[in-house]
Amino acid sequence: MTHPPTFRSLLAVPASSPRFMEKAAQGPADSVFLDLEDAVIASLKPKARQDAINAINQLDWGTRGVAVRVNGFGTPWSCRDIIEIVEACPRLDYILLPKCESPEDMHAVDVMIRSAEAIAPRERQVGIMGLIETPRGVANVETIAQAGGRLRALVFGGGDYQLDLGSFQRAVGAPAADYVVLTDADARGARERHWNDLWHFATARIANACRAFGIMPIDGPFSGILDSEGLHAATKRASMLGFECKMAIHPSQIEIIHEVMTPSAAQITWANEVLEAMEAAAREGRGAVKDKNGEMIDLMHIKVAQKLIDRAKRLGNKV
């Protein structure tokens, strides 16, 4: 089985802008996708496809993951996007398919990639990322996550998802003031409003499906570019649900996303302390022991600690 990638950020870059693609190749994002879909008007899509091919082949992308979001099935450009880009770009890592709604979507992309690779052999195999951004996609996410083959990640697309739901939120990825519950009145007749998370159902289901079947869950965008506190909170929420990567729609969001999605110094210190404490406990024949804070730790904590350290190592951090 091919392991999923290790990314913290996935930056959206319009393929219609050579300048933005050049900046992305020099920027801090762990991975990028060049967007042929929502960021490009219909009349410019063929030109944007060629611009994306030129950018992938001519720019130095370093160790970043490089994907192209192609146009979706049912459009005049989708199949040609996939075949031409895979044939022309040996540096390409992933095809990002929008509006994935069934495992058959994954299989169709797989067939087209294999055909293109047969014509133009390459050293690195192209993987697939799927955007889950419709109610049907969420309803089928467990079967999509089991598609196997080249599927490496699923990405939540909150904008199209809320549109199909009929929710019509101005902000994507942020809470909504109307999605609240009202408490009963207290003795003075006052009632409190408690905010809920309108994205929770979809994101929790996507993260769980990805973890169940060994692919990477990537959280969707946060559209409030100037709201750094909101982005931080949204990324924290995603991290707690099991996401380890988040889409960014502007380079200014990368620093916050990386901060949240990277194991902190305090976490690494705790992990090393756990391993040391459990090694000492094992020498004494014990499978559980109190840590220095008086909390019980056992064999499960070894797994948690090792997972934190392994992720930090894959990200290049010193542990």
Percent of the residues in the chain that have a pLDDT greater than 70, as a whole number = 98
Lowest mean pLDDT, pick from 84-88, 139-143, 220-224, 282-286? 282-286
d(CA 308, CA 319): 10
Is the pLDDT higher at 281 or at 145?
Answer: 145
The pLDDT tens digits for 139-172 are: 999 999 999 999 999 999 999 999 999 988 888 9
User: In the predicted model, what is the mean pLDDT of residues 215-234?
Assistant: 96
User: In the predicted model, what is the mean pLDDT of residues 3-20?
Assistant: 91
Q: What is the pLDDT of residue 24?
A: 97
d(CA 90, CA 122): 6
d(CA 308, CA 301): 11
Q: β-strand 193-195 against 216-219: which pairing, if any?
A: unpaired
* Residue 155, helix vs strand vs coil: strand
Residue 2 has pLDDT above 60, yes or no: no
**Could you give the domains of the chain?**
9-261 (3.20.20.60), 265-314 (no CATH)
φ and ψ at 266, to 5 degrees? -65, -40
Lowest mean pLDDT, pick from 65-74, 154-163, 213-222, 273-282? 273-282
Residue 319 has pLDDT above 60, yes or no: no
Looking at 48-185, which runs of residues are DSSP E strands? 65-69, 94-97, 127-132, 151-156, 180-182
Global confidence as pTM: 0.90
User: In the predicted model, what is the mean pLDDT of residues 249-272?
Assistant: 94
